[in-house]
Amino acid sequence: MRDIDLFYLQKEEPVKGCLLFLRQHILDFDKDITEAWKYRMPFFCYKGKMFCYVWIHKKTGLPFLGMVNGKWFDHPQLIFEDRARIKIFLLDPTTDLPVETIDTILKMGIAFYD
């Protein structure tokens, strides 16, 4: 089994289900988005360039969507924290995911590269 698949499968519910949904949603969002295993993390590339990734927040334990060039995105739900250029969108795995907000953020990321 690939490391990227193990990352998702080793998580406990409801985080596991949240991340698996997010993975498939991101891959289905645009034909130019591909999956990669970089820095021992699940990344998504847009036209071969690092686009976003999913991870678990160390302090809260919540899953999040990290936007690689989020520094340049103006969205009220993206959090900068102490990263150089990445902003994150925290997700609550116990509620329905805000798909419209996720889509808006993904569109911002694609627009950055286009």
C-alpha 44/C-alpha 37 separation (Å) is: 8
Domain assignments of the chain as residue spans, ordered by start: 3-113
Phi, psi of 50 (to 5 degrees): -60, 125
Q: Which residues contact 62 (CB under 8 A, 6 or more apart)?
A: 56, 90, 91, 92, 93
Q: What's the DSSP call for residue 86?
A: -
Task: Specify the CATH number of the domain 3-113.
Answer: 3.90.1150
What are the tens digits of pLDDT across the range 47-99?
Answer: 999 999 999 999 999 999 999 999 999 898 999 887 789 999 999 999 999 99
C-alpha 62/C-alpha 28 separation (Å) is: 23
Q: Is the whole model's pTM more than 0.75, yes or no?
A: yes
What are the tens digits of pLDDT across the range 2-47?
Answer: 999 999 999 999 999 999 999 999 999 999 999 999 999 999 999 9
C-alpha distances (whole Å) from 30 to each of 5, 33, 59 are 21, 6, 31
